[in-house]
Amino acid sequence: MKEVKKQGGLNSEIQSRIGHQLRAMYDDVVRQGVPDRFADLIRKLDGPEAAAEIAKKDGGE
């Protein structure tokens, strides 16, 4: 068991719980991998011009 250290009302156990939940939430998305739409998009783009072109079409600035 880690030492419980007071730090402005926070102890290390709570800190590690928060860290754990944060990573669980984040990693859940990371584990989904690369959705097809992005793999296709990057495959399609052969250079900066192509990207700028699509960005313009999509209404980006």
Partner 1 sequence: MPLTNSLRDDILASVPSLRAFAISLSGNGDRADDLVQETLLRAIANIDSFQPGSNLPAWLFTILRNLFRSDYRKRRREVEDAEGNYAKTLKTQPAQNAHLEFEEFRAALEKLPQDQREALILVGASGFSYEDAAAICGCAVGTIKSRVNRARSKLSALLYVDGAEDFGPDDTVRAVIGGNGGR
Which residues of this protein are in contact with partner 1, per CB under 8 A?
8-10, 14-15, 17-19, 21-35, 37-39, 41-42, 45-48, 50-52, 54-55, 58, 60
Minimal distance, residue 19 CB to partner 1, in Å = 6
Minimal distance, residue 2 CB to partner 1, in Å = 14
Q: How far is residue 55's CA from residue 52's CA, in Å, rounded to a whole number? A: 5
Minimal distance, residue 57 CB to partner 1, in Å = 10
4 Cβ partners below 8 Å, 6+ apart?
11, 12, 13
26 Cβ partners below 8 Å, 6+ apart?
none
